[in-house]
Amino acid sequence: MKIKVLGAGCANCQALEKRTADAVTLLGIQAEIEKVTDYGDIASYGVMSTPALVVDEKVVVAGRVPKVTELQSLLIGARI
Amino acid sequence: MKTTLSTDLHADPVARSPWHVWGWLAAAATAWLFAYQVNGPLSRWVVNDVAGFTPESRLGDAVEFFVFDTTKILLLLAGIIFAVTVLRSFMSVERTRALLGGRREGVGNVAAAGLGVVTPFCSCSAVPAFIGFVAAGVPLGITMSFLIASPMVNEVAIVLLYGLFGWKVAALYVTAGLVVAVVAGWVIGRLRLERWIESFVFETTLRGQPVDASRGLGWSDRLAIAREEVRTIISKIWPYLLAGIGIGAAIHGWVPEGFFVRYAGPDNSLAVPVAVTLGIPLYSNAAGILPLVEALHAKGLAIGTVLAFMMSVVALSVPELVLLRRVLKPRLLAVFVGVVGVGILAVGFLFNLVL
């Protein structure tokens, strides 16, 4: 699973990155987390409010930082 | 795995059930109303009877002012940020863009400024939002009206103005802020400066379906988001707020009446430009600066100057300009600062003249 955290270093972006890492650890799945900070790249996903979460090139969250439990369900949902 | 998920959900009081959510909300609202009502007598009692300051003495008054004002503004901030965030969770930048697509200038600028107030938006998202708007065909001037109104007419500024100056000044500020956003955006649109947007903005192709942040949220999600927003904002601004109210209290107590009438009263035409210039580097510290400005106003600083200063602090900030530089070429950035700056100056002079 390829996970990307989109955001140019705001506090919320760091929070999302950390929670995503926690969710991956809790689920015990294999995933690669990448940070995307380039504005052109962020915008190319159609994202207008950061932070955003992209799983296997699909945007699943934008503009908010969900709780770890919600991220877990999102990651499970994206895998199916 | 299933079991861990469900137990985790149960550990969170807001996610448990709707009844708990509404119960929690009702309890919080009652506590808030009670605290707001008893703040006055309680501050007096704590300062005079418990701490033993002499009532009506200079020090006693200053300490009471500090305790009362700090509590009042923190309560107002918590309540208003919470309510506004819940309401805003029904809107999203994506929906705003859809509403603005295909609007003509003029009507579009008004709509953009209004939507800038009600859309949940962090200025840290200014660049992706700008690209998203412009690449989707929203005209530059309309995009600018949105980007000016959004930080200018924000709940923290409104709460501070209401709490420190009363509702008339807060209403004047909101109206003037919207007018500046509409007019400045319209002027920038009329100047036809699209060639001064960084070219990568137009080369960006928007792949995939945009995710609407407001979709699929339940009431418990909205309340949880609002709670988190209250915590984030207050934990960020409280040191500045305390320092500002503290210094303000000292000014109230010890600076002579009418001290600033000579230097920064309505007749001094230099006061407004100086206030606007001072406001540019003072980003995000509005919570600390405004209580100070209120104290200066009590000693004679004119109200137009106060409003212009506040607008400059929130709408023309160095970090935001640095962000916008990513998408605007230097000339367009200069035009942006110039047009918005002139608008704010006009507001300052106008209110100094008529009030």
Q: Is the same domain home to B81 and B151?
A: no
Q: Is the same domain home to B73 and B178?
A: no
Among B39, B57, B88, the domain boundary falls at B88
In a domain? residue B164? yes
Mean pLDDT of B307-315: 89
In a domain? residue B257? yes
Beta bridge partner(s), residue A62 = A52
Q: Is the same domain home to B187 and B247?
A: yes
CB contact under 8 Å between B4 and A26, yes or no, is yes
- CB-nearest to B131 from A11, A27, A39 is A39
In a domain? residue B225? no
Q: Is the same domain home to B120 and B28?
A: no
Q: Is the same domain home to B67 and B109?
A: no
Q: Is the same domain home to B138 and B243?
A: yes
- CB-nearest to A48 from B8, B94, B228 is B94
What are the pLDDT digits (tens) for B317-338? 888 899 899 999 999 999 999 9
Distance CA B139, CA B112 (A): 11
Q: Determine the 3-state secondary structure of B52 from DSSP.
A: coil
Q: List the catalytic residue out of A13, A47, A52, A54.
A: A13
The pLDDT of residue B11 is above 80:
no
In a domain? residue B216? no
What are the pLDDT digits (tens) for A61-76? 888 888 899 899 889 8
The pLDDT of residue B240 is above 50:
yes
Which residues in chain A are closer than 8 Å to B143, comparing Cβ atoms? none
Is the Cβ–Cβ distance between B139 and B210 less than 8 Å?
no
How many residue pairs from chains A and B have C-beta atoms closer than 8 A? 103
CB atoms near residue A29 (< 10 Å): 15
Chain A residues with a Cβ under 8 Å from any Cβ in chain B: 7-8, 10-12, 26-27, 39-40, 42-50, 52, 57-65, 67-69, 72-73, 76
Q: Is the same domain home to B81 and B142?
A: no
What are the pLDDT digits (tens) for B97-156? 999 988 888 999 999 999 999 998 887 888 999 998 998 889 999 999 999 999 899 888
In a domain? residue B209? no
Q: Is the same domain home to B77 and B106?
A: no
Structural domain total, chain B: 2
What are the pLDDT digits (tens) for B84-94? 999 999 998 98
- Supply the range of the domain harboring residue B160: 93-201+237-354
Mean pLDDT of B14-24: 72
Q: Is the same domain home to B98 and B80?
A: no
Q: Determine the 3-state secondary structure of A52 from DSSP.
A: strand
Mean pLDDT of B206-216: 70
Among B88, B120, B148, the domain boundary falls at B88
**How many angstroms separate the CA of residue A30 from the nearest CA in chain B?**
15
Q: List the catalytic residue out of A8, A10, A43, A76.
A: A10
Local confidence band at B210 (pLDDT 50, 70, 90 cut-offs) = low
Residue A34: its pLDDT value, please?
93
Residue B284: its pLDDT value, please?
59
Distance CA B302, CA B287 (A): 19
The pTM of the full predicted model, rounded to 2 decimals, is 0.86
In a domain? residue B220? no
Q: Is the same domain home to B59 and B128?
A: no
In a domain? residue B215? no
Q: Is the same domain home to B78 and B99?
A: no
Residue B9: its pLDDT value, please?
41
The pLDDT of residue B340 is above 90:
yes
Q: Is the same domain home to B33 and B181?
A: no
What are the pLDDT digits (tens) for B256-306? 877 777 777 777 888 899 888 888 887 656 777 888 888 888 888 899 998
Mean pLDDT of B27-37: 94
Structure tokens at B260: 């600033």
Residue A13 annotated in active site: yes
Distance CA B211, CA A45 (A): 10
Among B40, B69, B88, the domain boundary falls at B88
CB atoms near residue B353 (< 10 Å): 10
**How many angstroms separate the CA of residue A43 from the nearest CA in chain B?**
5
Tokens 């200066």 identify what position? Answer: B296
In a domain? residue B133? yes
Domains of chain A, earliest start first:
2-79 (3.40.30.10)
Local confidence band at B82 (pLDDT 50, 70, 90 cut-offs) = very high
Quote the mean pLDDT of chain B: 86
